[in-house]
Structure 1
Amino acid sequence: MEWQEQSLAMLPLGTLFAAVRLPVALVGAAAFLRGTPDLAQVDAFLDEVLDGGPVICDPQGRRCYALVPASMPESYKQAAEDWRPLGVEILGRGTYLGVPPVHLVEFDKEACVSYWSVPMQSPAMLCTPLNVARLIAAALQRLPVGGEL
C-alpha cells in the first residue's frame, strides 16, 4: 500500500538486511568521474564494483544505499566510525529505509524519487561488505588531501 500511495515502502533494517549510505560524490570519486557525476554512470559503476549487489539511489539527496547483510553494522563498527566524516553511514537496527517498488530501475527526472540503481536479483543476494569497503577505500585514495568531498 505504501508503494501505491508514496512510491516508497519504509522497511526496518537490521533483521533481514542493513544498508550503507554512500554520497554520490564519493562513488563518483571512486569511479574517476569528474564534477557532479551522472547517475547513469554511477549506476553502471556500482553494478560492476558491487558484483550486481542491490543498490537504491536517492537522486534528490544525492545518496546511494548498498544493501548488505544485517551483520555489517556490528562487524564493521570501527570502519563505520572512520567513514563517518565522508558522509558514509552503516544503517541497521532502529533505522528504516525507503525502498522503491521493484519496477523503478532508472532515474526519472519528472518523478525525482528513489529507484533501484542496481536492481535486486533475488531476496538473498546482497552486496558483499568487503566490496563496499573496497569502494570506499578507492574513493579515499582519489579524494583531495583532507578527504573532503
Structure 2
Amino acid sequence: MDRLISEWLARAHPVPQRARAEWSNQGVALLPLGDLFAAVRLPGDLVCAVVGCEEPDQVAIALDELLHGPVIHDHRSTGATYYALINWGAGVIQQVDQDEDAPCLGKGTYLGVPRIDRRKPPGTYWAVPPRYDGDLCRPSAVRSLVSTGRRKLAQHATA
C-alpha cells in the first residue's frame, strides 16, 4: 500500500523519478502544489490551541480525528508548522487563500513532502500519513480547525 501512495505522491512532480531520488537521498522531496493537491499551512500554536497540548503523538491523533486526511509536520525556526493536504479545487481555497495565519498554498509553491515511512522526528515527517493514494483532508474539516483555533487563541489573548 505504501508503494501505491508513494507513486501517487511522486506524480505531483513533473519528473516523478526525481521525487523518488530525493526521497532516497534526503528523505524529503520538493513537490509542486496546485495540480495533484494543495496544502493549508497551519501554525503550531493554532493547532495546539485546538488540540489542547503540544505533545506530538497526541497532536497527531487529534489531527487524524479532526481532519481525516494526511498532515505533514515541519519544525521551522518560528516553531512547529503543519500542512494539511487538500484538493486544489476545493472551496477552502477562497476562504483561506488570503489568510496570513493559515494560507492555502498552491500553484507556484513547492512543499517538502517526506518519504511515506518518515513518521517521527527529527526533520519533516508525516504527523498523519495518507491512508491510500488520493487521500486528502476534507476542506470543511480544515476550515473548522482553523476557525476553532482562531477563536481559542483570541479567547486566550483576552483572558
Return the letter of the residue paired with 2:73.
Answer: C
Contact 2:96 2:102 in 1 (8 A): no
Q: Which structure carries more helix by proportion?
A: 2
Return the letter of the residue paired with 1:91.
Answer: L
Return the letter of the residue paired with 1:29.
Answer: A
Which residue of 85, 88, 93 maps to 1:76? 93
Q: Does 1:9 align with 2:29?
A: yes
TM-score by length of 1: 0.82
Return the letter of the residue paired with 1:124.
Answer: G
C-alpha deviation, 1:46, in angstroms: 0.4
Q: Does 1:32 align with 2:83?
A: no
C-alpha deviation, 1:6, in angstroms: 1.7
Contact 1:14 1:92 in 2 (8 A): yes
Which residue of 39, 43, 46 maps to 2:60? 43
2:151 is paired with a residue of what secondary structure?
helix
C-alpha distance in 2 between matches for 1:138 and 1:102: 29
Q: Does 1:120 align with 2:130?
A: yes
C-alpha deviation, 1:147, in angstroms: 6.4
User: Following superposition of structure 1 onto structure 2, how do residues 104-115 of structure 1 map, counting pairs within 5 Å?
Assistant: 104-107=118-121, 112-115=122-125
Aligned length: 136
Q: RMSD in angstroms over aligned alpha carbons?
A: 2.0
Detail structure 1 runs of 4+ shifted over 3 Å in the superposition: 144-148
C-alpha deviation, 1:125, in angstroms: 1.4
TM-score by length of 2: 0.77
Return the letter of the residue paired with 2:141.
Answer: N
**Percent identity, aligned pairs only?**
40
